[in-house]
């Protein structure tokens, strides 16, 4: 337990350092990013351009000391631009596989919804199974592996909605939001932090991250909370506004994220507040609303479900 607490403090130091010196006003987004990493999931940052989505991913990769790959999505991006391709080596007289940017611990997929659906789907196997299959050969991805994707609002020109199957692969979806007025004033005066990124030194090792992930997996989730998560999922499936509710994968994701949230709070057990904390970021994007209700806010619909499901006493 003492060792677990020490690792937990090291994880929190990443959030504190980045939010205190480089990413002021982004504590919530940083915490959710760390929950995604510890729960072995992926993160989708959804907001308008210019609020620091890409900067957050870059800063996090440097602080974690992990290898980093970046894909700038455009309408002409090909699946092989992500996964890699085989080329003929004339000297060796055979084909040689050239790895794409997906073969990194952290993959930043910038403006993912500007890529064509076929290209978006190229990442499904990687996000689910941590491998890619090219020309019949499977290649394992490094561990840990996390996709941090950014997405602009769908009403912007040249964007394509992510298919439900791919949205379901993201453990957490969150926005960035505008900074507080005084902080935004300071940012305007001092300029952005891109030129300061080189100052960020690794605060963790691969071993630190693996030990923290192992500790998260041991966090206790008692039967009452399992039933609570199941009740939320089942209530979403029968809701009058929802065509397709939270899947079993979504319920598993809620449990995994709740364990990671408990770990960051220094507990070795989950409480109902952990489930409530992660419910919106984990479950809202998984809801498919009926056509006549698609103008509704997904998180508000999810909140109405929570209000109808009794909170267990643990």
Examine the pLDDT at 2 and tell me if it is beyond 50: no
Tokens of 1: 């337990």
Give pLDDT, residue 158: 64
Break the chain down into helix, strand, coil percent, rounded to 5.
50, 15, 35
**pTM for the full predicted model:** 0.89
Residue 146 · residue 107 · CB < 8 Å: yes
Among residues 10, 9, 15, 38, the alpha carbon closest in space to that of 27 is found at: 15
Residue 156 · residue 16 · CB < 8 Å: no
Beta bridge partners of 132: 139
Q: What is the mean pLDDT of residues 178-191?
A: 77
Examine the pLDDT at 274 and tell me if it is beyond 90: yes
Residue 292 CA: distances (Å) to CA of 146, 153, 160, 241, 300: 35, 20, 21, 8, 16
Domain 2-186 has CATH 3.30.360.30: no
Rounded-to-integer distance, Cα 217 and Cα 93, Å: 47
Rounded-to-integer distance, Cα 249 and Cα 41, Å: 12
Grade residue 173 by pLDDT with cuts at 50, 70 and 90.
very high
Q: pLDDT of 4-22, one tens digit each?
A: 656 677 788 888 888 877 7
Residue 121 · residue 83 · CB < 8 Å: no
Residue 176 · residue 131 · CB < 8 Å: no
Give pLDDT, residue 1: 52
Q: pLDDT of 99-154, one tens digit each?
A: 999 999 999 998 888 888 788 878 888 898 899 888 778 889 999 999 999 887 66
High-pLDDT (> 90) share of the chain, %: 34
Greater confidence (93 vs 62) lies with: 62
For residue 286, the 8-state DSSP code is G
Greater confidence (156 vs 248) lies with: 248
Every domain of the chain and the residues it spans:
2-186, 219-308
Q: What is the mean pLDDT of residues 56-64?
A: 88
Rounded-to-integer distance, Cα 33 and Cα 108, Å: 12
Q: What is the mean pLDDT of residues 244-249?
A: 90
Kindly report the CATH number that applies to the domain delimited by 219-308.
1.10.8.80
Grade residue 204 by pLDDT with cuts at 50, 70 and 90.
confident
Examine the pLDDT at 155 and tell me if it is beyond 70: no
Rg for the chain (alpha carbons), in Å? 20
């Amino acid at each position: 337990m003492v060792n677990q607490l020490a690792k937990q403090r090291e994880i929190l130091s990443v959030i504190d350092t980045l939010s205190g010196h480089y990413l002021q006003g982004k504590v919530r987004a940083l915490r959710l990013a760390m929950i995604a990493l510890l729960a072995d999931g992926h993160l989708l940052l959804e907001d308008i351009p210019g609020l620091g989505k890409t900067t957050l991913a870059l800063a996090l990769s440097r602080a974690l000391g992990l290898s980093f790959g970046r894909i700038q999505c455009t309408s002409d991006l090909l699946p092989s631009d992500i996964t890699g391709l085989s080329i003929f080596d004339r000297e060796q007289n055979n084909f040689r596989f050239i790895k794409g940017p997906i073969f990194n611990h952290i993959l930043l997929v910038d403006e993912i919804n500007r890529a064509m659906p076929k290209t978006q789907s190229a990442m499904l196997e990687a996000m689910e199974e941590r491998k890619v299959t090219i020309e019949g050969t499977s290649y394992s991805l490094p561990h840990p592996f996390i996709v941090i994707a950014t997405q602009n609002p769908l009403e912007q020109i040249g964007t394509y909605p992510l298919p439900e199957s791919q949205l379901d692969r993201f453990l957490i979806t969150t926005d960035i939001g505008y900074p507080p007025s005084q902080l935004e004033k300071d940012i305007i005066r001092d300029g952005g932090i891109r030129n300061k990124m080189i100052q960020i030194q690794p605060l963790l090792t691969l071993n630190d991250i693996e030990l923290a992930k192992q500790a998260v997996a041991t966090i206790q989730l008692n039967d009452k909370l399992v039933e609570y998560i199941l009740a939320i999922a089942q209530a979403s499936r029968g809701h009058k506004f929802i065509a397709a509710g939270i899947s079993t994968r979504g319920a598993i994701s809620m449990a995994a994220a709740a364990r990671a949230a408990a770990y960051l709070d220094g507990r070795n057990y989950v409480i109902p507040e952990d489930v409530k904390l992660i419910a919106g970021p984990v479950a809202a994007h998984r809801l498919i609303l009926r056509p006549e209700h698609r103008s509704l806010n997904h998180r508000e619909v999810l909140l109405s479900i929570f209000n109808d499901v009794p909170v267990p006493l643990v």
